[in-house]
């Protein structure tokens, strides 16, 4: 869906250190969870969208991502509007319906809280792509390593991503083979048949790919993977002044946000 692979796009955010972007992302994510007032989360959303514009990422991408979350957004909104225990009654819809816990009134708090939750969903869902689309994978990996994530874990991530194309072509071959044998319900077919064929696809795919692990293991160790010395990293990353500014801002935002919340602001 979103093509990241190696070379995320060249954007103005590319110059930033991966660590900065990762920390900024976490800050926004945490703040989105800390606040439950629609105004505050709207502020966060504005921040994310501004960054999106600065990075010159296509707006269509946001639409693509949010498309998948439309139904949950509607459900969240409806559940909160009807069932949030609000106090400011706006209008009366019906008599109280006890067994589903509906008071009969639509409340201001319910609407506000519903909007806040939907906005929270939007922020949470578009903030991660923002990081990844502006950070080539090797830089992302280096950022993780510099943030003390074990190198081996970062290695698993990059290796997995670079093995993906060969797995996908492998799975296409298996599907072709199954089509030849008359198994045609990958796309059509009822839900249960679809699941059965999926299972029939997964087993040979997993087994076939596992066979490659032998080659991969030999190839890794032939290139001294795990040598008992401190590893060099070809890629280098240094903080530039902008990085420091953004980092300081992020920390101030985070502390300020938490402080506001403790003082009772940012909630309903």
Report 159-218 residues binding another protein (CB under 8 A): 159-168, 171, 191-192, 194-196, 198-199, 202-203, 205-207, 209-218
Separation of alpha carbons 62 and 126, rounded Å: 7
> Which CB atom, from 137 or from 247, has the smaller least distance to another protein?
137
- Residue 59 in contact with another protein, rule: CB under 8 A: no
| Piece in contact with another protein (CB under 8 A), picked from 11-19, 52-60, 131-139, 250-258 | 131-139
Nearer to another protein, 157 or 242 (CB): 157
User: Is 97 among the residues that bind another protein (CB under 8 A)?
Assistant: no
- Which of 16, 76, 111, 246 forms a contact with another protein (CB under 8 A)? 76
State how far the Cα of 162 lies from the Cα of 139, in Å rounded to an integer: 15
- Tell me: does residue 82 bind another protein (CB under 8 A): yes
- State the nearest-atom distance from the C-beta of 219 to another protein, in Å: 4
Instruction: Pull the structure tokens for residue 242.
Output: 């902008």
How would you class 174 by CB atoms within 10 Å of its CB: exposed for 0-12, middle for 13-18, buried for 19 or more?
middle
- Of residues 234 through 263, those in contact with another protein by CB under 8 A are 234-236
Q: CA torsion sign, 91 to 93 to 97 to 102?
A: negative
- On whether the CB atoms of residues 2 and 61 are closer than 8 A, the answer is yes
Q: Which C-beta is closer to another protein: that of 43 or that of 204?
A: 204
Please say whether the dihedral angle defined by the alpha carbons of residues 133, 136, 139 and 145, taken in this order, is positive or negative.
Answer: positive
- With contacts defined by CB under 8 A, how many residues of the chain interact with another protein? 94
Shortest Å distance, C-beta 243 to another protein: 21
Minimum CB separation of residue 240 from another protein in Å reads 19
Residue of the chain from 121, 145, 246, 247 that contacts another protein (CB under 8 A): 121
CB proximity list for 21: less than 8 A, separation 6 or greater: 13, 131, 134, 135, 143
Among the residue ranges 41-49, 68-76, 87-95, 243-251, the one whose residues contact another protein (CB under 8 A): 68-76
Can you name the residues that pair with 107 across neighbouring β-strands? Answer: 89
Residue closer to another protein (CB basis): 260 or 268? 268
């Amino acid at each position: 869906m979103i093509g990241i692979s190696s070379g995320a796009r060249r954007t103005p955010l590319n110059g930033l250190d991966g660590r900065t972007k990762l920390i900024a992302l976490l800050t926004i994510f945490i703040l989105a969870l800390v606040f439950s007032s629609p105004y505050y989360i709207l502020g966060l959303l504005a921040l994310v969208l501004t960054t999106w514009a600065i990075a010159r990422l296509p707006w269509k991408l946001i639409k693509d991502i949010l498309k998948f979350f439309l139904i949950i957004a509607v459900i969240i909104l409806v559940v909160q509007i009807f069932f949030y225990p609000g106090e400011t009654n706006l209008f009366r819809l019906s008599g109280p319906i006890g067994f589903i816990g509906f008071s009969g009134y639509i409340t201001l708090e319910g609407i506000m809280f519903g909007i806040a939750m939907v906005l929270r969903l939007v922020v949470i869902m578009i903030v991660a792509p923002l990081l990844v689309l502006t950070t080539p994978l090797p830089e992302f990996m280096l950022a993780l390593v510099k943030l003390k994530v074990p190198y081996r874990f970062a290695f698993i991530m990059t290796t997995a991503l670079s093995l993906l194309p060969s797995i996908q072509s492998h799975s296409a071959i298996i599907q072709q083979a199954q089509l030849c044998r008359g198994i045609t319900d990958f796309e059509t077919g009822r839900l249960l048949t679809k699941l059965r064929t999926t299972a029939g696809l997964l087993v040979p795919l997993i087994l076939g790919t596992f066979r490659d692990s032998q080659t991969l293991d030999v190839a890794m160790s032939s290139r001294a993977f795990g040598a008992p010395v401190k590893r060099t990293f070809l890629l280098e990353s240094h903080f530039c002044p902008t990085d420091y500014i953004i980092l300081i801002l992020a920390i101030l935002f985070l502390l300020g946000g938490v402080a506001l919340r403790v003082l009772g602001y940012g909630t309903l």
